[in-house]
């Protein structure tokens, strides 16, 4: 069952500026038919940019704990505004089998503490092509499944 939403501007104060949608799009090379899940603070702010870029299937979630089914079906997952890499993120990754790309935008450099173990977990899931860079003053981690491995799975 699918539900159409009539989105209106929020009356809530905006979240602190995260990586722009363009930075995330550039890092992930999203295709028109990709299923994209954006998780975290400001996730809904990325939906218009995804639509403008031609992405036809995108979902925004406030927390990974509410989106296990969406994440299992996703081709691309963006974690935005990550404050700490904790058990909730590790649990979310544990169920990924088919995702092509996972991106994590760290809200502050202090969040890098758990990045090494998170990258190892992604590597074990087949997301072996990994980069860590800066975009809009924030740390951006991108892990993708190599093309040869996508053909195998």
List pLDDT tens digits, range 62-114.
887 777 778 888 899 999 888 888 888 888 888 777 788 999 988 877 667 78
140 exposure class (CB count in 10 Å sphere: 0-12, 13-18, 19+) = buried
Question: From CA 126, how far away is CA 91, in angstroms rounded?
Answer: 16
Please tell me the least confidently modeled range out of 4-8, 26-30, 60-64: 4-8
So what's the pLDDT on residue 149?
A: 59
Tell whether pTM > 0.85: no
Question: From CA 151, how far away is CA 145, in angstroms rounded?
Answer: 10
So what's the pLDDT on residue 148?
A: 63
């Amino acid at each position: 069952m699918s539900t159409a939403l009539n989105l209106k501007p929020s009356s809530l104060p905006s979240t602190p500026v995260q990586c722009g949608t363009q930075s995330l799009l550039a890092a992930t090379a999203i295709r028109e038919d990709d299923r994209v899940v954006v998780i975290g603070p400001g996730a809904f702010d990325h939906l218009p940019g995804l639509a403008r870029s031609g992405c036809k299937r995108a979902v925004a979630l406030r927390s990974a704990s509410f989106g296990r089914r969406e994440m299992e079906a996703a081709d691309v997952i963006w974690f935005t505004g990550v404050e700490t890499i904790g058990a909730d993120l590790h649990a979310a990754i544990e169920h990924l089998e088919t995702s092509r790309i996972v991106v994590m935008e760290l809200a502050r450099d202090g969040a890098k503490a758990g990045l090494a173990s998170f990258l190892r977990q992604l590597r074990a899931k087949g997301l072996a092509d990994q980069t860590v860079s800066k975009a809009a003053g924030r740390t951006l981690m991108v892990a993708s499944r190599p093309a040869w491995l996508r053909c195998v799975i």
